[in-house]
Amino acid sequence: MRSRPFGPEVRGAVVDTAVAAGLAYLLAYSTLDPPGPAFTGPEWVAWFAGAAVGLPLAVRRRWPLPVLGWMVVAAATATAFGVVGTGVIWVTYAPLALALYTAATATGPVVAVVALVAGLAAPAATIPWLYDRLGIAPSDAPQSEMPLWWQVELGMVTVAVTAAWATGRVVRWRRMVHAGIARQLALDAVAAERLRIARELHDIVGHSMSLIAVKATVANHIAAERPGETRAALLTIERTSRSALTEIRRLLDVLRSDTDPAADLGPSPGTADLSDLTDRLRSDGLRVDLRLDGADDLPQAVDLTVFRIVQEALTNVMKHANAGHCQVTVLARDGGVHIEVSDDGRAHRSSGRSPTGQGLIGMRERVAMYGGTLSTGPRPEGGFRVVADIPYVAVEETA
């Protein structure tokens, strides 16, 4: 469901409809009251020609090439039959120029060139023929407000059509450049987040291996004298090794660059640190409520992932939401943990909260590593919500 029904598409359609109606009226008016010889046919023909050439602009964004093709035929037909304003024939081709601009922004180079050739061929073939058929010359209309030379009329149409096409190509090029930059930023964000994940998993695996080595040494020394303690040490080794193997498999799927700075050597945070995190973010203008349920025995890597997702979501709330209340919920159930961060923010979310924002990219990478799901978006009652569900395999104890 759209958060704002009056979005860019609707605004664009309204603008296009208004422009189409205005140009259709201008075309008909210029045909009935031109600087040169006026159209001598029925008045309704002029209004029909204006509608046929101008009104299709209302759907130019949806069907750029069909609209352009129709306008080329309609404008050429109107010119050939003299249903144009002599001296201002460029008015008839103004809608065509706008349609050509749209087609140039929406198509590749080959199609765009073909569209330009068609847009120039129509006036080049019909304007000189009209002047010759009607026998119009500058001396025939000395009181004309515009020069009655077909060369001038054709030149004005050519300049308008070519300028519109060139502008469309420049706009398309700029959009492609911006899209390329956005894609590269997204790739960089993914690479940076994967590197961070790799470092954190490396710390987890290193800690697990160290614990296994210590317990194995203890078990080796007390195996004969204290078999009960030996069994407990072996149980710890079994549980730790299973968890470490799981994290090693995930680590193999994460890229790491040797040229990046070394990671911090401090202990990895987890759900136990969420209380301190929310306490630090509370202020007079923002109330942060935290609900934790069943998150005490999460695997270390999952525990860290939960903390990072909540941390990034709260960071976005502080930066972009302009919220008065934020609710953080972490519920761990059998084989999965549910995370939800929602706020009642009133600020515009176009900055940093879009589906392609770097913070949300990082969250998505972390959730995808476990095969989980992440959904983000505005709440119907106002504000923004981040919801993540992460499955995990609990390590079972053996007797």
CATH number of the structural domain spanning residue 240: 1.20.5
Q: Is residue 343 part of a domain?
A: yes
Same domain? For 239 and 352 the reply is no
Same domain? For 319 and 175 the reply is no
Same domain? For 314 and 237 the reply is no
DSSP letter string, 274-286: HHHHHHHH-BTTB
Check residue 185 and report its DSSP letter: H
Q: How far from chain centre, in Å, is Cα 257?
A: 28
Q: Is residue 396 part of a domain?
A: no
Among all chains, which residue has been given the structure tokens 């195996």? 223
Q: How far from chain centre, in Å, is Cα 263?
A: 32
- Nearest CA to 45 out of 32, 33, 60 is that of 32
Same domain? For 177 and 190 the reply is no
Cα gap 399→397, rounded to integer Å = 7
Same domain? For 32 and 44 the reply is yes
Same domain? For 332 and 386 the reply is yes
Residue ending a domain, choose from 151, 181, 211? 181
Residue ending a domain, choose from 125, 159, 181? 181
Q: Is residue 337 within 8 Å of residue 390, measured between CB atoms?
A: yes
Same domain? For 326 and 218 the reply is no
Packing angle, helices 64-80 and 109-134, rounded to 10 = 10
Q: Is residue 165 part of a domain?
A: yes
C-alpha distances in angstroms, 367 versus 1, 158, 194, 391?
A: 24, 56, 12, 9
Helix or strand (DSSP H, E) at 81: none
Structure tokens that stand for 338 in this block:
């549910």
Same domain? For 174 and 120 the reply is yes
pLDDT in tens, the chain (399 residues): 344 445 677 888 889 899 999 999 999 988 888 887 778 889 999 999 999 999 999 999 899 999 999 999 999 999 989 889 888 889 999 999 999 999 999 999 999 999 999 999 999 999 998 888 877 766 555 555 666 788 888 989 999 999 999 999 999 999 999 888 888 888 887 777 777 777 776 666 666 666 677 667 777 777 777 777 777 777 777 676 766 666 666 555 554 444 444 444 455 688 888 988 888 777 667 788 999 988 888 887 788 889 989 988 888 887 777 788 999 999 998 788 999 999 988 754 444 445 445 567 778 888 888 889 999 989 888 889 999 999 987 644 433
What's the total number of domains in the chain?
Answer: 3
CATH number at residue 357: 3.30.565.10
CA dihedral 322, 187, 362, 191 (to 10 degrees): -140
Q: Is residue 161 within 8 Å of residue 100, measured between CB atoms?
A: yes
Beta strands (DSSP E) in 128-283 are none
Range of the domain at 24: 8-181
Same domain? For 244 and 378 the reply is no
Same domain? For 197 and 171 the reply is no
Q: Is residue 257 part of a domain?
A: no
Q: Is residue 39 part of a domain?
A: yes
Same domain? For 153 and 68 the reply is yes
Same domain? For 278 and 362 the reply is yes
Residue ending a domain, choose from 155, 181, 207? 181
Tell me if the pTM is above 0.85: no
Q: Is residue 71 within 8 Å of residue 123, measured between CB atoms?
A: no
